[in-house]
Amino acid sequence: MKNLAITSAKVHVEMDYYLTGSVLKGTVESGCSEVRTHFDVESAESVESIREIIRLAKRGCFVENMIQTAVPLKSSIALNGKEITVDLND
């Protein structure tokens, strides 16, 4: 762990998402077009030290890495204890 003196650290996250169509009509679709993060750090440490700790934090962030890299999604569904499948293309 890095031994840095950080007085305050905050992150603000925004995302642009959309939801279109209708559940009732079976046309619902959703997605996200962009995610933005803003870090606000107060510290007497050097700019390069703060850059390095932010770089490491971003590299170790599961959410940022999942957004930037396609991750396989495996789902299972049980109805009354019996496995069923759902085709998203229907």
Q: If you average pLDDT over every residue of the chain, what do you get?
A: 93
- What's the CATH number where 33 sits? 3.30.300.20
Q: Is residue 66 part of a domain?
A: yes
Q: What is the pLDDT of residues 60-86, one digit of tens each?
A: 999 899 889 988 989 999 999 999 998
Average pLDDT over residues 24-30: 94
Q: Looking at 1-90, which runs of residues are DSSP E strands?
A: 6-20, 29-43, 77-79, 82-84
Q: Is residue 79 part of a domain?
A: yes
Q: What is the pLDDT of residues 52-64, one digit of tens each?
A: 999 999 999 998 9
Q: Indicate the SS3 state at residue 32.
A: strand
Q: Is residue 89 part of a domain?
A: no
φ, ψ of residue 20 to 5 degrees: the values are -125, 170
Q: Is residue 24 part of a domain?
A: yes
CA distances from 20 to 15, 60, 67 (A): 16, 33, 21
Q: Is residue 1 part of a domain?
A: no
Q: Is residue 90 part of a domain?
A: no
State how many domains the chain has: 1
Find the domain containing 64 and state its range. 6-84
pLDDT at residue 2 in the model? 81
